[in-house]
Every structure is written in structure tokens, then in C-alpha cells.
């Protein structure tokens, strides 16, 4: 990947670059340049070859840059960052951090990728992750809490994500329990929490965050639910480095505070983003489905569902809004 990535750095300005010039800069033949660029196209990048002019990207790409991200972060959040790695390509940033969790990484360690070969969503779904187009970020945090006390963490992270998106100029963000980030009922972003090496009284959590920034039409055909991206919402390009800085600035303090305060201080804010409160929804459980009126969430992160005047708590499941 490294040669390809170097080629991409040259092409990222969106201008034409002759094959000979690229070959000379990379120390490879023109044929090898062509092969590397074809491989980049297969990762989802639109690269044009024009005889006599050379190669160019259909659109300039702003590559992720650790320095640009950290310098744009809020000071208090920067102090919480345990380290940052940016990879051109990974199977999944969550899988990677889960594998590294045993090697002593500090709380607040961040991993980003330009491309995920096997990006993962909730419930075993695939997370469509084309190159250089979106944000794929995972964060590690260590808690001296039992896994059972972490039920509200993904909702807390949802609030932090909504704050970051608002700070980026996106109005109308909604959260659908447990942690879908929606805009006008379309999926804009997702959160995948995984625990690694938990033992009684101690848990290591990997928090995976995916935000659709500029999903190509072709990549979008692989998404199996209504979706949107930031460019469609805002009608303009948004810097991924700036957005990552906003995201880290909001999420890291929330991860820290959860240890002592849990979800409670964020509960009202979560309810203000609730996409389904007051609506009739169906909760899908492994062996049954339950229909009732969504009545918000509690401080453990449980969904409250009212049926026949009785409100019950649900800690797991998938909800869909029932169309009348
Ligand atoms: C969802 O299904 O809503 C959760 C999607 C989470 C996607 C992110 S992208 C970064 C991290 N790495 C993964 O493989 N998944 C998460």
C-alpha cells in the first residue's frame, strides 16, 4: 500500500500528473504506476487517465493527517488522546484496536483508516468503507466498571457524536436507540461498541465510529438501508480532518466522564435527539417481536416501551417504526 499511498499523496491535489513524472517520483516504471493506480481505483477512487496529460483524480482528496487533526482539537480533549494511528488500509479499525488492546494501549488511543476492507456494523452487518471518502475511527478506553455498567455508554457516545455533527453545521440530527445516527430518517453515521478482555470490575472498550462524508453512488449501492452523507446534507465539502478533530473533542471527554457519572448527565440531551419517542415501534428480539409506544430511555441505556399502560425496559434488540 505504501507506494500506492505515496502515488495518491501526489494525486491528491486533483491536478494532472504524467505517468513518467509519477514513476520518477516513486522510483518505479510507468507500467508499475499504471498498475498501482488501477489498484487504487479498485478501492473506490475515481482516477482518470488522459493521453498526453497523465492521471488525475475526479475530485481532490484530503488525506487524513494526524498533525492537522490534533492541532484542531480542543485542548482538554487533546490531553485525553492516548495516541493516534492513521492507516491507509485496514480490515477494520475496531478489529485492529481489539487486537492491540492487550498490548497496553492507553485510554484515548485512536485509530483511523482511509479504507476498511471488512468494515463492520452492528448485528454482523457490513459497514461500507470506500477509500478516502468517509470517517472510520476507533477509540480505546479502559474502565474500572463491570460490563453490565457499560449499557449506557453507546448512548453517551451518540450524544457526543450528535454534538460534533452540530458543531460541524449539521442541524436535525436524530438518534435511534440504541445508537443509529440519523438525518431525516436516513442513516448518516453509526457506532459499534465492542469489549475486549473484560474481567470482573474492569473492561476495555473499543468504540467504533463511522460517518458518511462523501459516499459515491457506486459505494452507496452496497448499503442496505436508506442512507445519506454530509455532502448531500450540507451541499458542500467538509474537511475530514476538521470533522475528526470535532469528533475527538466531543467523544473523548464523554468517554472519560462515563467512568464516574455514567449516562445520567446526558440523559435529557439524548432524549432531545430521540428519533422515535412517542411513536409506535416494533422491537425485534431474537425469538419474538414486541410492539409498543417508545417512551425514551433510562439511565442504564435501556429502551422504555409502553404497552397496555405498562412500561417495560429493554436492554437489547432492534427497533423499527411501525407505519400506521
Ligand atoms: C452501525 O452498524 O451502525 C455501526 C457502524 C460502525 C462503523 C464503524 S467504522 C469504524 C469502526 N470500524 C468498524 O469496522 N466499524 C466501526
* Grid coordinates given for 198: 473484560
Would you state the pLDDT for residue 147? 85
d(CA 319, CA 276): 9
Q: Which residues belong to the active site? A: 122, 187, 322
Q: Name the residue of 90, 192, 193, 211 whose CB sits within 8 Å of the most ligand 1 atoms, as the mutation to test its pocket.
A: 192
Whether the CB of 154 sits within 6 Å of ligand 1: no
Q: Is 172 left (phi over 0), alpha (psi -120 to 50) or beta?
A: left
Whether the CB of 249 sits within 6 Å of ligand 1: no
pLDDT tens track for 166-223? 999 999 999 999 989 999 999 999 999 999 766 677 899 999 999 999 998 888 999 9
Whether the CB of 277 sits within 6 Å of ligand 1: no
pLDDT tens track for 117-134? 999 999 889 999 999 999
Ligand 1 atom closest to 94 (CA): 12
Whether the CB of 176 sits within 6 Å of ligand 1: no
Whether the CB of 92 sits within 6 Å of ligand 1: yes
pLDDT tens track for 85-117? 999 999 999 999 999 998 889 999 999 999 999
Ligand 1, atom 7, lies closest to the CA of 210
CB 246 within 8 A of CB 168: yes
Whether the CB of 134 sits within 6 Å of ligand 1: no
pLDDT tens track for 243-263? 999 999 999 999 999 999 999
Task: Tell me the residue ranges of DSSP E strands in the chain.
Answer: 47-50, 54-57, 83-87, 109-113, 135-143, 173-176, 180-183, 186-199, 202-211, 280-284, 289-297, 303-307, 310-314, 318-321
Ligand 1, atom 15, lies closest to the CA of 120
Ligand 1 center–CA 301 separation, angstroms: 19
Ligand 1, atom 10, lies closest to the CA of 136
Ligand 1 atom closest to 122 (CA): 2
**CB environment 102-115: b (16+ within 10 A), e (fewer):** eeebebbbbbbbbb
Full-model pTM = 0.92
Whether the CB of 88 sits within 6 Å of ligand 1: no
Ligand 1 atom closest to 95 (CA): 14
In the chain, the percentage of residues whose pLDDT exceeds 90 is: 70
Q: Which residue from 93, 83, 15 is spatially nearest to 50, judged by alpha carbons?
A: 15
Amino acid at each position: 500500500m505504501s507506494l500506492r499511498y505515496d502515488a495518491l499523496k501526489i494525486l491528491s491535489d486533483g491536478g494532472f500528473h504524467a505517468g513518467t513524472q509519477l514513476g520518477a517520483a516513486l522510483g518505479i516504471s510507468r507500467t508499475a504506476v499504471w498498475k498501482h493506480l488501477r489498484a487504487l481505483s479498485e478501492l473506490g477512487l475515481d482516477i482518470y487517465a488522459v493521453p498526453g496529460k497523465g492521471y488525475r483524480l475526479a475530485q481532490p482528496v484530503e488525506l487524513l493527517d494526524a498533525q492537522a487533526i490534533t492541532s484542531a482539537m480542543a485542548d482538554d480533549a487533546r490531553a485525553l488522546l492516548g495516541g493516534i494511528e492513521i492507516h491507509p488500509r485496514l480490515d477494520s479499525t475496531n478489529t485492529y484496536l481489539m487486537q492491540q488492546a492487550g498490548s497496553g494501549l492507553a485510554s484515548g488511543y485512536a485509530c483511523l483508516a482511509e479504507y476498511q476492507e471488512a468494515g463492520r456494523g452492528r448485528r454482523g452487518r457490513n459497514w461500507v468503507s470506500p477509500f478516502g471518502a468517509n470517517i472510520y475511527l476507533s477509540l480505546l478506553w479502559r474502565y474500572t466498571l463491570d460490563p453490565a455498567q457499560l449499557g449506557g455508554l453507546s448512548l453517551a457516545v451518540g450524544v457526543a457524536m450528535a454534538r460534533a455533527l452540530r458543531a460541524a453545521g449539521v442541524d436535525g440530527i436524530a438518534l435511534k436507540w440504541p445508537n443509529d445516527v440519523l438525518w431525516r430518517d436516513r442513516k448518516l453515521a453509526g457506532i459499534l461498541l465492542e469489549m475486549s478482555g473484560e474481567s470482573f470490575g474492569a473492561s476495555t472498550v473499543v468504540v467504533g465510529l463511522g460517518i458518511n462524508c462523501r459516499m459515491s453512488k457506486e459505494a452507496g449501492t452496497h448499503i442496505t438501508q436508506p442512507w445519506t452523507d454530509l455532502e448531500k446534507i450540507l451541499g458542500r465539502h467538509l474537511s475530514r480532518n476538521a470533522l475528526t478533530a470535532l469528533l475527538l473533542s466531543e467523544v473523548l471527554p464523554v468517554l472519560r466522564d462515563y467512568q464516574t457519572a455514567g449516562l445520567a448527565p446526558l440523559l435529557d440531551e439524548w432524549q432531545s435527539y430521540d428519533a422515535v419517542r412517542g411513536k409506535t415501534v416494533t422491537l425485534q428480539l431474537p425469538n419474538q417481536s414486541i410492539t409498543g409506544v417508545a417512551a425514551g430511555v433510562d439511565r442504564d441505556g435501556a429502551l422504555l416501551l409502553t404497552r397496555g399502560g405498562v412500561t417495560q425496559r429493554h436492554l437489547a434488540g432492534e427497533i423499527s417504526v411501525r407505519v400506521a
